[in-house]
Each structure stands twice: as structure tokens, then as C-alpha cells.
Structure 1
Amino acid sequence: MQQQDPNARPATGYPYPYPPQQPANGYPPNAATAYPYQNHNPHYAPQPSPRAVLLRRLFTAFTVFLLILGLILFIFFIVVRPQLPTVYLNSLSVSNFTVSDNRLAGNWDLRLQFQNPNSKMSLHYDGVSCALYYDRASLSETRLQPFDLGTKDQTPVNATLSVSGTYVDGRLVDSIGKERGEKGSVEFDLRVVSLVTFRYGVYRRRRYVTVFCDDVAVGVGGNSSSGNMVGSAKRCKP
């Protein structure tokens, strides 16, 4: 029987076959990336719904429409330059003016001057009304007939406001008496409201225009029942 050499060395070239290591979780290594998802169409993206596309197109069209409309209006106002008409109170007189026992009576005759400052737009006045006030208390109101104003045109309009025994507060009676005694005049306020149509070719625009002629002094002394406006013509303010 042959004995083994205790000093013998292991043979080289044939390493000891160690068994493969098993992962602790029991799954093969790189199991999550062993078979990755492959996108065969890298340019693919989810398509929006037809409703979303329609809404987006409608919004774009509406935005473009507003921009075009705004540009047209801007050019129109630059070219035409519409301006509000001006009104002057040329004269104001009162007759049969009496204040007694909290009753007020009188006839006011006035003359207004309407002017159109526009060089490209004509004006049509409809529904013109004049109202007379004293210290914010309404005394009388009248309505004027319609009329037209051409470009850069002007026209005078006469009106009469009457008060026949209208009851007024005692405070107003005292105030009128004080003015007549101290100044020899009484200050009245006038309001003019007009429905004006601006016309330029086929363009039409209607709007209300209101002007005020405030603190118009009429010379009527304590013993007088008639008087005229103190001073020259006065421009009414919007």
C-alpha cells in the first residue's frame, strides 16, 4: 500500500470549485433589471381629448378676436377723436318771483348754447331736460324739443321753467330772504340732461350727457319780483 507524502503540495491549474453564493432574499441578482421595459416608440406621448383641443382653439380664436377689435377701436378713436359737447348758459331771468308763507312762485326764462366740438362727428339731441334747483331742492323741470348739431356747429335753445305756489321748507325761505337782503340776488342751480347720439358714417353711439350750471346769481332784490343773471355767459360743467 502506497503512503501519501505529508509534504506534498496541491496540484495547480485546477482550483477548488466553490459553490455559487445564493442571495439572501432568494431572488437572482439584478432581477429587477434583468428584463427592463423597452419603449419601441420613443416619440409616443398621450394625445389630448378632442374636447380639450376644441376649447383651446376656441379660446385662441376669442383672444385673437378681442385683440383685433381692440386695435380697430384704438385706431377709430385716434382718427375720429370723439369729444363731449359743451353747453353754455347765456342768460337767465326771473319774473313774478314771490316767496311767502312757505310758498314759492316764479317764471325762469333761460337761453342755452349747445356746441359740438367734433370735426368728424355730428350729434343728435333727444330727450333734453332742464331742472332748476335752489340749495339742492328741486323747484321746476321742463323738457326741450330734439335737435341736431353738425360738425363744429352750435345752436341756441330757449326754455322756460315755472313754479306756481310750490311749498318749500322754512329753512329755504329764510335762506332766500337772507340772500336777497345781503346780496340783492339769489343763486340758483341748473341741471341739463341729454340723450345724445354720436354719428360718424354708419357708426352710432348713444349716451347720456349731464351738465351742471351751479351758483347762477340772479339779481332780484328784496322788494323786486323780477331780475336777470348777474355776469356774463357761464359754461356748464359735466
Structure 2
Amino acid sequence: MTRLADPIPVVTGYPTGAGYPNPYPYVYGAPPPQPPPHAVPYYPYGAGAAPPRSTVFVRSLCAVMIASFLVLFVFNLVLWLVLRPNLPEITVSWAAVSGFNLTAAAQQLSADFNVSLTFHNPNDKLGIDYDEIGVAVLYDSEIISYAPIPPFYQEKGSTTAAGARLVAVSEYLSSDAAKAMDWDRSHGDGALSFIFRVFARVKFGSGAWWTRGDAMRAHCKDVRIGFGNGTVAAAGALVGPSPKNCLVLM
């Protein structure tokens, strides 16, 4: 008996079409390039909002003020270097005391001092203006009395005399100062060494240019007033070389 061949399977449905050919075939051997990945869109930075007008004005004003300050500073510095102010020269030309009464045990002193001062302006280009001026008399670094002096102005190269009266009424002294004063008056030549100090606020200038007011001090040391050896005289006057030069500081 003859064996039948395997049955051919039956396929149902429509056959798949071949499709249309690519009108632009890729002719290169390598695979075609892939499309680029999706990139984040780029947004260029804008100029930003302009600063408020008030801010611009404040910045401009500050710049102008700083520039003006620098110009003024340089101008004053150049003038200072060119003119170069010199300090005044001060001397004690005369000094006297009356009504001198020292009670060493009670540490009290009463006295009436009169002092004559000489101010010289050594500058040949600048005047000097003196304000808030006064003079004090001291013994052994203790202030006995103080008196103001009227303000005044000095032309360049000029000399001015000024006087002051300094009164002490029952002024208390330290125990050491009272003992030293009593000892000095009753021994040696009977002279007492006082110190006069001059205080002032001075300005240097000429025309429209002036320095600011600076504090000036003058120390006039070893101003000796003689009363006579071993006496109880109530009056005395300047002894020794005169005038007495003062050390001027600013």
C-alpha cells in the first residue's frame, strides 16, 4: 500500500504586499546617521532691566564728591608744601608778682601775677590768627591761676605784645608744693621758679586760603621771680636773663 505524502498546510488571509521602494535609497555602506537627541532650547540672556534713575544719580553724586575731595586734598597739600607755615615764636618779656602771701601750714597761696608776652610771626608769606588764647601760671606742675587773652591777628613777619593778669585767692596747693615754695623763698637768693603756659587755637593763611584751627601750646619754664633772700616781701619781679624763650608745640 502506497504511503501518502504529508499534507500541505492551508494558509488563510491575504498576502503581504511588497510595498513601494525608497525613492531615495541610501547608497553608503555605513548605516544612516541617527537623528540628534532632543536638545533643550537655548534662550540667550537678555540685557536685564536698567537700574533705577535714583541709583544712577546717587552713584554719580558719590563719584563727584570723591573726586572733589581728592582735588581739594591735593590742592591743600601742594599749598602747604609751598608755603610751609612756621610756628610762632613766644617769649616772656616781663613778669612780676604782688600781694604774695603763702601760708605753708594751710597750703594756701594768694598772689597777683602780671606777665608780658611777645608773639613773633616768622612767616614771610602767611599771617597768623590767634583765638581762644589764654595763659596759666604754675609752680611745681600745679596750676595757680589762669587768665584769658583777647584774640588777635598777626601780619606776616610782625611782632605783637600781649599782657595778662593772673590772680590767685587762697589757692590750695599740695603739701609738697607748699613746703617747696616756702623753702625756696627762705633760702638761697629767695627766688621762685614759675612756669607760664600759653594756650591758643591758631590758623595760618593768606587771602582766601587758611588752615583749619589747630591747638597750640607754649611752655615757658624757669621764669624766676625774686623776693630777696630771707625776706617776707609780698612783691617780686623777674630776675635773670630775659626774655625767656618758650617751647611752642602744636
Q: Which residue of 2 aligns with 1:236?
A: 246
For 1:117, give the aligned amino acid: P
Structure 1 gap ranges (5+): 2-19, 21-27
Distance 2:61 2:226 in 1: 67
Distance 1:48 1:230 in 2: 81
Count the aligned residue pairs.
209
Conserved in 2, the CA contact under 8 Å of 1:177 and 1:222? Answer: no
Cα 1:229–1:162 shift into 2, 3 Å:
farther
Which of 63, 78, 87 is matched with 1:75 structurally? 78
Does 1:94 pair with 2:97?
yes
Q: Which residue of 1 aligns with 2:122?
A: 117
Which of 129, 139, 161 is matched with 1:134 structurally? 139
For 1:67, give the aligned amino acid: L
Distance 1:66 1:143 in 2: 37
Conserved in 2, the CA contact under 8 Å of 1:139 and 1:163? Answer: yes
TM-score, scaled relative to structure 1: 0.71
Conserved in 1, the CA contact under 8 Å of 2:130 and 2:151? Answer: yes
Cα 1:146–1:70 shift into 2, 3 Å:
closer
Cα 1:48–1:135 shift into 2, 3 Å:
farther
Distance 1:30 1:222 in 2: 121
Distance 1:183 1:189 in 2: 19
Q: Which residue of 1 aligns with 2:183?
A: 178
Does 1:201 pair with 2:207?
yes
Give 1 or 2 for the bigger CA radius of gyration: 2
Conserved in 1, the CA contact under 8 Å of 2:218 and 2:246? Answer: yes
What is the percentage of aligned positions where both structures have the same residue? 25
Which of 104, 109, 120 is matched with 1:104 structurally? 109
Which of 204, 220, 223 is matched with 2:231 structurally? 223
Q: Which residue of 2 aligns with 1:9?
A: none
Conserved in 2, the CA contact under 8 Å of 1:186 and 1:217? Answer: yes
Kindly report which structure 2 residues correspond to 1:2-81, keeping only aligned pairs within 5 A, or say none: 31=37, 34-38=38-42, 45-46=47-48, 49-50=51-52, 53-81=56-84
Conserved in 1, the CA contact under 8 Å of 2:193 and 2:224? Answer: yes
Q: Which residue of 2 aligns with 1:5?
A: none
- 1:83 alignment partner, SS class: coil
**Residue-by-residue CA offset, 1:81-128 (whole Å, 9 max, x unaligned):** 233322111232333433224332333232211011222222233443
Q: Which residue of 1 aligns with 2:157?
A: 152
Cα 1:147–1:61 shift into 2, 3 Å:
closer
Cα 1:63–1:161 shift into 2, 3 Å:
closer
Distance 2:120 2:135 in 1: 17
Conserved in 2, the CA contact under 8 Å of 1:87 and 1:115? Answer: yes
- 1:67 alignment partner, SS class: helix
For 2:60, give the aligned amino acid: R
- 1:84 alignment partner, SS class: coil
- 2:110 alignment partner, SS class: strand
TM-score, scaled relative to structure 2: 0.68
In the TM superposition, residue 38 of structure 1 has moved relative to its aligned partner by 4.1
